[in-house]
A and B are shown apart, each in its own frame.
Chain A
Amino acid sequence: MSIFVNAETKVIYQGLTGSQGRYYGLLNRDYGTKVVAGTNPKKAGTDVEGIPIFASVAEAVEETGATASCIFIPAPGVRSAVLEAAQGGVDFIVAITEGVPAHDEALFYNQLRKDFPNVQLLGPNCPGIISPGECNIGITAGHIALPGGPVGIVSRSGTLTYQALYELKEKGIGCTTCVGIGGDPVPGTSFIDCLAAFEADPDTKAVMMIGEIGGSAEEEAAEFISNNMTKPISAYVAGVTAPAGKKMGHAGAIVSGGRGTAQAKMEALEAAGVRVGNNPTEAGELMAEIVSQL
């Protein structure tokens, strides 16, 4: 079992005819993901290595029965691509693209909530989602993840997500689903969305969480954990020693006015009963301990 996507999930790639979309779309298909269609209004009727290209998401959904879409469209086109996907009838949208303006994110996040409340958006600016052995949507290297559970992973950072998957694999620990929610100001899917889904998934027995400085998503997650989670959690928060006011790569990773510090986040998580490591390796070791006691 897994959350959000599984072996049956049929996926459309918006931007499959572009270089990034093609590269990762085909890698995802090689992994076993059901990549059933691509979209490009100018190339409708052609195909990418046997994957049919349709003019719109709506057409692709009608022809293939796809329920998910993955967006590899350049940043200026993401706003309309997200809305096209929702209008087209998929219920899970993964937006990989980085560099999307915050105002666009705020707009389509609220538009989806209002007009398409059942559509779940992941990203933008995220590595995607992988249910190891079943489905890989996005840019995660599939082979660094061990299938089978019992751990679910949710992370705000790309490379640290890979690091987490890899460390668990090295210890022989599998993963049900690993969700990279991305570090942008308005992520479509939050820690809480993933924690709730993992709590409800019978095969996920423990959750590993990777946060970073900036915003208050980790603090909100901590509150949710206190009130709603029965499954054990280990966590790591990157940016413990980041100086205030400095932007570190992600739009989200900035500390200002003493709020959003890693220290505050770690304390909030610890107070909620989460076992917090000082670096990714330590968080992995804590998870190994948790798993050994399951």
Chain B
Amino acid sequence: MDLFEYQGKEFFAEYGMPVSPGGLALSVEEAVSVAENLGCPVMVKAQVHTGGRGKAGGVKFAADINDVAEHAEKILGLDINGHVVERLWIEKASDIADEYYVSFTLDRSAKKHLGMLSAEGGVEIEKVAEENPDAIARIWVDPVEGLSEGNCRNWVKEAALPEQAIEGTVEILLKLYKAYVDGDADLVEINPLILTEDGRVHVLDAKVTLDGNSVFRHETYKEFDETQTRDEREKAAHSKGLQYVGLEGEVGVIANGAGLAMSTVDVVNQVGGRPANFLDIGGGANADVMTAALEVINNDPDVKSIFINIFGGITRGEEIANGIIDALDRVEMRSPIVIRLDGTNADEGREILEPHLSQALQLAPTMLTGAEQAVALAKGTKN
């Protein structure tokens, strides 16, 4: 789950890190009112789940209330890498003397936590990594041992942060690691972490991704689920508990298992089609989940054909076939369907489907031919 900057800052503040006072605004009027309460100068910052906000004109300094209104007007509705700005964060402006970068994430290859710290903050860290990799000091933290103050001191030294920033940074590093671990984050990133003119180390930005699997021990994370960026189709699928990712093509894809669903998307592409989505209905493939899946795909106006690719393991072919027939009774389909059914008792399953077959409900012997049939149907060519 990706947090907006303001949510990330609230999250950091809970772990005792210094963030700027501010408020959320959904309109120009709200932005003005927040700024009046805070007192100018303030920063007007677009809240989107993507990077590159500054470059896109989504982060502006406002010296007075007129500036606030002007910037808020321009930023609300702005499209930043396909994300339309609906929320603004208005916060007290800071006097920046120096900018740093810090993050923690899991290094899947080392199977340890990776901390990155750099005295070159405020710019894209990917660029720093490319142009001057030595400017990033890395530390690998064994989750069993954790991160000690001594580790942090050495780390800050290695990153060559200036003397006056050391104490404040060490303190923030320890708190940030605690937030990362106790908060079950996949990523915590501060860019920039700043040294103010009056010598304080301060969190100026927050990028936080939380592990959706950890919600059972973080009751409050449910609210973040509601502010995730999803298109209408994804919202509908999510509310039905389906694993769905919207894509841009015309062939609706339904498969059981993430790997098979991904593979189905691949094969549809390989035979010259464009998948409309990735949809994993999981192992069971019963009538209820199949109905939910067909409803979501049926509501996608771009879909011209549907490819159902099911491999029966423990769930037998006849159960799957009955589930599909049941689901088709419940949903009035707009598009023709191609079914590939393989695995346990596939023959029995195909027999059940046989009497229902038509131009609008076809059976395919293999995954590859199924994809070809579905793509041909989407293109309106006969097969």
A-to-B contact residues, CB < 8 Å: 27, 75-76, 99-103, 106-107, 109-111, 114, 139-141, 143-144, 155-163, 166, 183, 185-186, 210, 212-213, 215-217, 220, 236, 238-243, 246-253, 257, 262, 278-281
Contacts and interface: CB of A to CB of B under 8 A. Distances in A.
A186 B111 contact: yes
A189 to B, nearest CB: 12
A251 B213 contact: yes
The 8 A-B pairs with the shortest beta carbon distances in the complex, nearest first, are: A157-B259, A159-B257, A249-B258, A160-B259, A159-B260, A241-B269, A141-B313, A101-B214
Interface string B257-277: 111111101110110000100
B356 interface: no
A242 B265 contact: yes
B270 A159 contact: no
Interface string B330-371: 000000000000111000000000000000000000111000
Contact of B270 (A160, A185, A278): A278
A281 B259 contact: no
Contact of A238 (B144, B247, B266, B311): B266
B212 to A, nearest CB: 8
A101 B280 CA distance: 21
Contact of A158 (B111, B216, B257, B342): B257
B269 A162 contact: no
Nearest to A211: B259
B106 A102 contact: yes
Interface in B238-294: 243, 245, 247, 255-263, 265-267, 269-270, 275, 278, 280, 283
Given A102-B186, A159-B313, A166 B261 contact: no
Given A106-B106, A110-B142, A186-B106, A140 B258 contact: no
Given A103-B184, A157-B262, A248-B258, 13 more contacts: A101-B213, A102-B211, A106-B106, A106-B112, A110-B142, A139-B314, A159-B283, A163-B263, A213-B262, A215-B109, A217-B109, A236-B263, A251-B213
A130 B108 CA distance: 26
Contacts of B367: 279-281
A181 to B, nearest CB: 12
B193 to A, nearest CB: 22
Chain B's interface size range is 35 or more
A102 B113 CA distance: 11
A109 B256 CA distance: 29
Interface of B: 106, 108-109, 111-113, 126, 142-144, 181, 184, 186, 211, 213-214, 216-217, 243, 245, 247, 255-263, 265-267, 269-270, 275, 278, 280, 283, 311-314, 342-344, 366-368
Contacts of A249: 243, 258-259, 261-262, 278, 280
Contact of A103 (B181, B243, B275): B181
Contacts of A250: 258-259
A155 B243 CA distance: 21
A215 to B, nearest CB: 5
Contact of A166 (B144, B245, B256, B311): B311
Nearest to B267: A279
Contacts of B280: 248-249
Nearest to B142: A110
Contacts of A220: 109
A103 B145 CA distance: 13
Nearest to A74: B216
A39 to B, nearest CB: 21
A75 B213 contact: yes
Contacts of B343: 141, 144, 162-163, 166
Nearest to A220: B109
B108 A216 contact: yes
Contacts of A239: 262-263, 265-266
B313 A140 contact: yes
B263 A247 contact: no
Nearest to A251: B213
B251 to A, nearest CB: 12
Contacts of A183: 258-259
Nearest to B271: A279
A166 B111 CA distance: 33
Nearest to B126: A257
A158 B259 contact: yes
Contacts of B214: 101, 103
A161 B269 CA distance: 22
